[in-house]
Amino acid sequence: MISYEVRLTEQARSDLKNVFEYVAFKLMAPNNAETQLRRIENAILDLKIFPERFQCYSIEPWKSRGLRIRPIDNYLILYIFVEGKSVIQVMRVMYCGQDLEGFLNNVKEG
């Protein structure tokens, strides 16, 4: 079974921090924040195996770039599977109630 390297952009790292802080401080549920963060992190690590199993985003320019969406609870992990390099690049992590297209307009690649 092939296992791929998973990399997170600075934006994705910041998104994870924001999820934790929102749940812990805004919703005042620090235990839930830890649990939610762990579930998202595990879902990200799970992308190492069969990363192509999740839905491709269908709107350009992201469709051509191979953006995929991995849902986890009320969140979406936005990632690109770079097949030739055997790398999973996690671009962003977002709340599923947000405007996906608008959110993608603020993604910095790399």
For residue 46, give the CATH number of its domain: 3.30.2310.20
**Does some domain include residue 19?**
yes
**Does some domain include residue 49?**
yes
**Does some domain include residue 33?**
yes
**Does some domain include residue 86?**
yes
User: How much is the pLDDT for 109?
Assistant: 64
Q: Dihedral sign, CA of 60, 79, 92, 24?
A: positive
* DSSP code for 57: P
**Does some domain include residue 110?**
no
**How many CB atoms within 10 Å of residue 21?**
11
Residue 91 main-chain phi, psi, to 5 deg: -85, -50
Q: How many structural domains is the chain composed of?
A: 1
Looking from the CA of 60 toward its CB, the CA atoms found within 13 Å total 1
User: How much is the pLDDT for 31?
Assistant: 95
Cα separation, 90 vs 110, whole angstroms: 10
**Does some domain include residue 109?**
no
**Does some domain include residue 43?**
yes
- Residue ranges making up the domain that contains 26: 5-104
What is the residue-level pLDDT of the chain in tens, covering all 110 positions?
A: 788 999 999 999 999 999 999 999 999 999 999 999 999 999 999 999 999 899 999 999 999 999 999 999 999 999 998 777 789 999 999 999 888 888 887 777 65
**pTM (predicted TM-score):** 0.91
User: How much is the pLDDT for 110?
Assistant: 55
